[in-house]
A = this chain, B = another copy of it.
Amino acid sequence: MKHALNVTREQDFAAWYQAVISEADLAEESGVRGCMVIRPWGYGIWERMQKLLDAEIKATGHENCYFPLFIPLSFFEKEAEHVDGFAKEMAVVTHHRLIQKDGRLVPDPEAKLEEPLVVRPTSETVIGAAFSRWVQSWRDLPVLINQWANVVRWEMRTRMFLRTSEFLWQEGHTAHATPEEAREETLKMLEVYRSFAEDCLAMPVIAGEKPENERFPGAVSTYSIEAMMQDGKALQAGTSHFLGTTFSSAQNIRFQNSEGQQELAHTTSWGVSTRMIGGVIMVHGDDDGLRCPPRIAPHQIVIVPMLRDTPEDEDILAYCAEITEALNAQDVFREPVRAHLDRKSAKAANKRWGWVKKGAPVIVEVGGRDLAAGNVSVLRRDRLYKADGKLDSAIMAKGDFIGGAVQLLAEIQTALHEEATAFISRNINRDVKDMEGLKAWFSAARPGWLEVQWSKPTGAALDKVVETLKGLKLTLRNVPSDAGPADGACIFTGDAAVERVLVGRAY
């Protein structure tokens, strides 16, 4: 069986990932260090993600705002732990004008900023400063806001979607009167991310709390959703932080409570980014390219007319246009179906394989014979081949296809989710109880994760565990919210275990 990409997942997973990004026209190198160009199909997927997640963020009472790209250094200096976490990777603006010198453009020494500005790596500081203006009384709380924005973290080694110097994300920021309410918010948004990943991206994830060493700089608790890629590695696909009073102290977010006393607000922040597109590729992709879950596919059904430069072409196009229109008049997942007629003048087989690589969930081909018989040829992207290795193209009566299209898209969404869920289920081992077993598990080719019992060490004891794991190229992922009870010994310390933690290789 010959596949559409020139490298398979089995041969070289990293090269395969790059091949999908390139062949599916998702993104490309920009010529600007660490920054990518997100191409129309990749950006279309991001727009779909934005639309669906934005609706959930709004349904939970949050409003969108926009805060400055630039953050003065003085804002960062107020919170030491936070700045330590980001100082190594900040893009710094120092000048506001260019001049010509010896035929080259250079920053104008006369236009040096008095205080350098950082390009936001995240916005807790500048949004905290706004909250301190907005919050005076308990009546002003909670403040529930979100921002869709670009952020910059200077990365030395970049990988498209997964780690780029500039990326797109949403960052939610909230302030509350009590720590209980802020914790509840943190977990509510974790659940929004979990259900978004499962229901919209068809991407199974494990939600849980990060161990101390993996906390966001300045957070009291950090929670994440972790997805398993097809090479067994973990991708942190979203995080939600309970920030306690770290940022309200630093930025002076105080309110008068109902008894007339001044209190510090309790804040949270939470975000997901274009990194999720990388996750979708590595969870659903196959050796023919991307397989895009219908809910986030820019086009859910692509109609490819097989034209031959004959007068019949016009009839075929009219027939295809009629089908496209009938599809788009229906609703799926409570939105209009997104069917697209590919009118480009290229060979039909090339167009078909182009859409296969892009991962359009359903590809419909229509030739002269189909037209004459009132038929269409239907390819499901999630199961492209028959057992004999031939393309599994089904000839259907036009009306049957249109009438069943909504059901078909729902089926494909479910099938991708089930396939990925089966994969993660069979690649998490919960039975390993000692370091020998752990080493053996991770010495396999492309191991999945271990869920092990541990004593939740802190400080130096935790550092030691982290160091040991680092030697094995492993990290602690999170403590799954729905993990079973701990009833044995800690795999790392031998002490009585108190909970279960996920261990794995990670992106």
Please give the residue numbers on chain A whose beta carbons come within 8 Å of chain B beta carbons, in ascending order. Answer: 28, 30-33, 35-40, 43-44, 46-47, 63-73, 75-77, 83, 87-100, 104-107, 116-119, 126, 129-130, 133, 139, 145, 149-150, 152, 154, 165-166, 168, 345-346
Contacts and interface: CB of A to CB of B under 8 A. Distances in A.
Given A98-B73, A105-B73, A31 B129 contact: yes
B139 A345 contact: yes
19 contacts: A28-B133, A30-B129, A35-B70, A37-B66, A38-B65, A38-B66, A43-B63, A44-B63, A46-B66, A70-B166, A73-B98, A73-B104, A76-B98, A83-B98, A87-B99, A91-B95, A92-B96, A97-B154, A119-B119
Contacts of A30: 67-68, 126, 129-130
A88 B96 CA distance: 8
Contacts of A38: 65-66
Contacts of A65: 37-40, 43
A69 B69 CA distance: 11
A66 B43 CA distance: 7
Nearest to A69: B166
Contacts of A89: 96-97
Given A64-B43, A69-B150, A98 B90 contact: yes
A95 B95 CA distance: 11
B118 A98 contact: yes
A249 to B, nearest CB: 18
A275 to B, nearest CB: 14
A43 B64 CA distance: 7
A170 B39 CA distance: 16
Contacts of A43: 63-66
A30 B125 CA distance: 11
Going nearest first, the 8 A-B pairs with the smallest beta carbon separation are A35-B68, A40-B63, A38-B66, A96-B154, A92-B95, A87-B98, A32-B68, A92-B107
A166 B33 CA distance: 22
Contact of A64 (B44, B67, B87, B94): B44
A239 to B, nearest CB: 22
A368 to B, nearest CB: 24
Contacts of A66: 37-38, 43, 46, 168
Nearest to A96: B154
B87 A92 contact: no
Nearest to A165: B70
Nearest to A298: B63
B107 A116 contact: yes
Contacts of A105: 73, 76-77, 83, 87
A230 to B, nearest CB: 26
A48 to B, nearest CB: 11
A68 B98 contact: no
A92 B90 contact: no
Nearest to A151: B69
Contacts of A100: 87
A104 B119 contact: no
Contact of A95 (B40, B46, B94): B94
A292 to B, nearest CB: 16
Contacts of A76: 98, 105
A60 to B, nearest CB: 15
A295 B28 CA distance: 37
Given A37-B130, A43-B65, A32 B71 contact: yes
Contacts of A90: 96-98
A100 B77 CA distance: 10
Which of A71, A91, A152, A346 has the most CB atoms of chain B within a 10 A radius of its CB? Answer: A91
